Amino acid sequence: MSSLTVTLHRLSLAVLCSFAPLLALASENGATNWPLGVNTVIPGLLPPPGATELYGYTVYYSADTLKGNDGESVPIDFDLEVFAQAFRVVHTWDIQTDAGVKFSSGAILSGGRNSLKIADFGIDEHKTGFNQLYLTPLYLTWSPTPELHLLTGFSAFIPLGDYDRNDPINTTSNYASYVQEFGLTWFPTPQWEFSVSPTLSFNAENSDTDYQSGNLFNVDYNIGYRFPAAPQWQVGLAGHYTKQFSDDQLDGHDIPGGNRLSKFAIGPQVFYSFDQATGVAFKWLHETSVKNGPKGHSLWFQFAIPL
């Protein structure tokens, strides 16, 4: 399952740059359009030719610690909560190459409710609305063997919803991102699954603030095991590794220190498949090794059903 197009984790911190002497790290690079940790459920597979699938993503994220450039906690009373819901439709076209390459297209619409409290500055705000529209004109999938499945696709986040640069919380980042997705799912045995889903995100400038978030590398992963006596059940260890590889910019100039986000998250995942096209997944991901962003955890529910 791919992206949940919601500004998770560092969402809605843009206006905190007003407190730059203390919170330079909490500026607009806090808005990561790619939802970190979303793509841990069989990311190398999409519907078969001629089929359409509906995916649902529900996530609750909370953080009560803000980390600086050195990985140390910023000494403020900080509380961020994000609740997001997204629905994704993917159709695989009824064509394929002689080598077995398949072609799919997808779209995701997301929205949610975000809350931010910073007692030191008297901030206690929340907002509900749309996040983004995520469009993938073309996915390419290929299975060179029955056990190995590969995916790639180029996608775009289109911001939706109301945005106010003077509000301490928003549901949309107010800038576009362009994402190159990859996916690999390998079943070395009927019981074991190894999956990774690397992405590269390239961010446009927020025209309301002249702030441009740095570009981002992220890889979601899962190591899963199915029980021989009950193969519909899979338990696994899932998470993500995130590394920003270019500096944030304001008015075309690099932010001092770069303001580069980095995170590692890990946690349990449980997946139940009703059949080859229908399933549900639950996961809990705990963040660690965080720099320039909030440190917290997320609770996920995902499903897939054929249309």
170 contacts: CB under 8 Å, gap ≥ 6: 11, 12, 14, 114, 127, 161, 162, 163, 164
- Residues in the chain with pLDDT < 70? 1-31
Its CATH class, for the domain covering 14-306, is mainly beta
* SS3 call for 24: helix
Q: Which two tokens stand for residue 230?
A: 């009950």
Write down the pLDDT at residue 27.
Answer: 37
First vs last C-alpha separation in the chain: 16
Write down the pLDDT at residue 167.
Answer: 86
Tell which phi-psi region holds residue 61, choosing left (phi > 0), alpha (psi between -120 and 50) or beta: beta
Write down the pLDDT at residue 30.
Answer: 55
**What is d(CA 225, CA 187) in angstroms, rounded to the nearest whole number?**
10
Write down the pLDDT at residue 5.
Answer: 29
Distance of CA 170 to the CA centre of its chain: 17
**What is d(CA 16, CA 110) in angstroms, rounded to the nearest whole number?**
24
Write down the pLDDT at residue 28.
Answer: 54
Q: Where are the domains of the chain?
A: 14-306
Question: Dmax of the chain from CA atoms?
Answer: 63
Which of 273, 277, 281 shows the shortest CA–CA distance to 303?
Answer: 281
* CB contact burial 242-267 (16+ within 10 A = b; e otherwise): bebeebbbbeeeebeebbbbbbebbb
Give me the sheet containing 205-206, strands edge to edge.
205-206, 211-212, 249-250, 253-254
